[in-house]
Amino acid sequence: MIDHSAEFGFDVTTTSPGTSARCGTWHTPHGTVETPAFMPVGTRGTVKGLWPEQLVETGAEMVLANTYHLALRPGAEVVEELGGLHQFMQWDGPILTDSGGFQVFSLADMARLTDEGVSFKSHIDGSWFDLTPERAVALQEQLGADCIMCLDECPPHDVPREKLLRAVDRTTDWARRCRDAQKRSDQALFGIVQGGVDPALRERSAEGLLGLEFPGYAIGGLSVGETPESMYATLDVTTPMLPVDRPRYLMGVGTPRDLFEAVVRGVDLFDCVMPTRNGRSASAFTSAGEIRLKNRQYRTDEGPLDPGCDCTVCNRFSRGYLRHLIQSREMLGAIMVSYHNLVYYQNFLRSLRDAIRADRVDEFRSVHLADVPASL
């Protein structure tokens, strides 16, 4: 078993009476992350449209990249030869890589799944790409991220229970194989709790992983079609099972409301494509809810995207100008809205951290979420 104690440490600095919310500091080889934290998604080694310096401006401390996509192009060996992901991306902060397990769900029609691993038919050239737990770890060691993920099976939310049970047990077996395959001590390998919205299967998954003594634990298999209420109920069951002295990472979630509900249930780390994907679709997160800039009502709007935001976009440009860029299909429009959305997410969690430290979580809810539609 790899000893990570010299490279990683997680300290809970504040807890919130009446909730499970907490603030912490997670120490990694490339810097410290203040939690709860949101990681922008840079699937192919870039957060779409933004320079690393702009990511720093948004307040991001850590980013995410994807093993499956980088292994296909340019290849993990190419990234390694070019100095690893940090040098490759020119990002000095911590990086997390997903193992490719989510693609078992998202690319299910292009995948063959067995107990040994998964084979994907490449979306690039149609060739077959084999991913076993051992190879997932080896690829991530070549990429060189600070935090790496076990290969897991992420099933849809509506599969029969027997298939969900099989996915839980396969995920546990793969996690053991990943742990045994790891060679580097400067990468924190996280186990991933699966089990859908079934409390008994979540408990089975957590129990199987806890004995493997990972330096952190992720909660996977949510935001795959279940209702928000089901997700929150699943977090109510799952997070108390996970060690209090290690980071808890909710994968692929979500809206600002989802982030809040997960934080008050004890989650520390998040990632989601929503801020940048919505930005490319002309949808902006604001303190008053979601703004869809394609709507004609913004055609001559002189106001800032969000009066409550002090980012560069909101300080300098009008909604009318942003709508013009989007309607003209100018790439700057998508970049600007993506940038603002990432600032919104970072400010949201920064304010939530402040509320936890000041024991004002209920006040945060009433101020930041009372007027925001449930879809956000």
- What does the DSSP assignment read for 76-136? HHHHHHTTHHHHHHT--S-EEEE-STHHHHHTGGGEEE-SS-EEEE-TTTS-EEEE-HHHH
Map tokens 């860029």 to a residue.
Answer: 325
Asked about 271 being catalytic, the answer comes back as: yes
Considering 11, 98, 115, 186, which one is annotated as catalytic?
Answer: 98
> Position of tokens 């199987």?
208
Q: What is the 3-state secondary structure (H, E, C) of 317-355?
A: CEHHHHHHHHHCCCHHHHHHHHHHHHHHHHHHHHHHHHH
- Token readout for 268 is 């520390």
- Cβ neighbors of 87 (< 8 A, separation 6 or more) are none
- Is the preceding omega at residue 155 within 30 degrees of 0, hence cis? no
CA–CA distance from 268 to each of 54, 265, 329, 335 (Å)?
24, 10, 37, 28
The dihedral over CA atoms of 213, 217, 219, 221, expressed in degrees to the nearest 10, equals -60
What is the C-alpha radius of gyration for the chain, rounded to an integer number of angstroms? 20
Please give the Cα distance from 340 to 336 (Å, whole number): 6
Measured CA to CA, the distance from residue 110 to residue 106 in angstroms comes to 9
Query: Which residue of the set 146, 258, 271, 306 is catalytic?
Result: 271
Return the active site residues. 98, 271
